[in-house]
Amino acid sequence: MTTEFRVSGVCERDIDLLLLEELAASQDFLQWFVQRTTRLHGTCELLRIGRSITQSNGESDLELLLRFEHGDKHKILIENKVDASFQKDQAARYAERSANYLDRDELRTCTTVLIAPDDYLAGCSETEFDETLSYESIVDWLENNDPSLRTAYKVYLLKTAIEKAHVGYNMIEDQSVTKFWKGYWQVASRVTPELEMPHPGGKPATSSFIHFRPLNRPAGTHIIHKCCSGAIDLQLNGLGRRVGEVASRLEPCLEEGMQVVRTQKSAAVRIQQEIIDFAKPFDQSAQAAERGMRAAVHLLYWAREHNEALQSVMAEGSEGETGP
């Protein structure tokens, strides 16, 4: 006999506390969460976790301070959304807090993470968070790793929040842009499966940045095809103010056509390609899109080949960075 749960009005605070408990009480969940959101491997110890951590420029829903076996410390800042809209410059303020922590604390990295249902994430066209994680992936992990009644209740809460997001999210879908994304995904799945592009849902008219987060990419990086400008970026999270030093350190590794640029709070290794107009049918831009995908794969392989250099730059950049 299964227990029936009935809880009305599930909100973000409920999910905040659910996540806080799992991260604090389950080492297995913590390890999975850290690997999915930071790409860092090895056993980690949770030194501190808190909810509603307020700084001068805003609040993090959750913050984690971790220490790994080799002694390096890492911080994760989490924004949790069910169906609420973003506040003004909210993602940018998370990035600013991350940079401030790197200035102030002895951290190797600081990662900002947006957690939300898939329907919500599908409408985030150009998120400035370092990583995203869906409620659905958390449900999958819980169901596959802990068949207890306690977990069944938490899964119920998450699924209730997912349904709330499905009903309440007000993203205005642009049919032509959505069709373009699906055409892009079909080609990427066939030509460049290494990028592990997820199946896209509905997209708003402004959705022109395609993010790739393959599981085997180096920690602290992800790849973006910025179709509106033609840039293919391997983003190095949190190193924007050190871009000159990053460029100097990586210069011996760069190949022809690669350059190091600043992208807001981050640095990026960029390959420039053609601008793609999402207002036109995908077929008219298919060749340019495929060239962009292949450039993204090239950056992925380059990053894996030069992972040691990238990790050295990011570690030194994070620990040695000073304020403006």
Q: How far apart are CA 290 and CA 220, in angstroms?
A: 25
Which of 99-108, 157-166, 207-216 has the weakest average pLDDT?
99-108
> What is the reported pLDDT for 118?
83
Cα–Cα distance for residue pair 224/210, rounded to 1 Å = 6
pLDDT tens readout for residues 267-318: 899 999 999 988 789 999 999 999 999 999 999 999 999 999 988 887 664 4
Give me the chain's average pLDDT, please: 87
Q: Tell me, yes or no, if the pTM score tops 0.85.
A: no
Q: Residues of 87-107 as b/e, b for ≥16 C-beta within 10 angstroms?
A: eeebbebbbbbbbebbbeeeb
Instruction: Please state the rounded mean pLDDT for residues 20-37.
Output: 94
The domains located in the chain, with CATH, are: 12-168 (no CATH), 175-319 (3.30.1460)
* pLDDT tens sequence across 36-71: 888 777 899 999 999 999 988 889 999 999 999 888
pLDDT at 103: 75
